[in-house]
Amino acid sequence: MTKMTLGSYPHMLGFEQLERLLERTAKTGNEGYPPFNIEQTSDSSYRITLAVAGFAENDLGITVEDRQLVIRGRQADDSADRVFLHRGIAARQFQRSFVLADGVEVGEAVIENGLLHVDLSRSRPETVVQTIQIKKG
């Protein structure tokens, strides 16, 4: 059995980039930490919320790289000066990636009560009708 690709469909032209995006999304390696929610806040906006308890603003980084929203967290490990009788809260780092569709823009990011909120909005594409002239060859 052969793998069906978007290029296998003769009426879908130029979707190779979408196929690469889907493959990249499958390879992002996002583990279960930190947990997150994605909610639709209006017809054209979304909010990603990550549980980042223990992370300060300067421990977090948000970038958009090639239509991919990447949220990273890295806490400084200050345990060298401390003696733990029990350590159940580890300073861990994370990276969460979200592939953004064309027209989706990242708005503001706010941290409150241990939750990082990242707002996204989608612009409405213009409807374009183009008439192609037929030339005699």
Range name among 9-13, 58-62, 86-90, 104-108 with the lowest pLDDT average: 9-13
pLDDT at 35 over 90: yes
Mean pLDDT over 33-60 rounds to 95
Please, which contacts does 121-125 make with residues 24 or more away whose CB atoms are closer than 8 Å?
121/44, 121/45, 121/46, 122/44, 122/45, 122/46, 123/44, 124/44
Q: Per the structure block, which two tokens stand in for 34?
A: 């930190």
Give the pLDDT band (50/70/90) at residue 6: low
pLDDT at 63 over 90: yes
The CA radius of gyration of the chain, in Å to the nearest whole number, is 21
Which domains are seen in the chain, by residue range? 1-30 (no CATH), 34-122 (2.60.40.790)
Mean pLDDT over 34-39 rounds to 96
Give the pLDDT band (50/70/90) at residue 87: confident
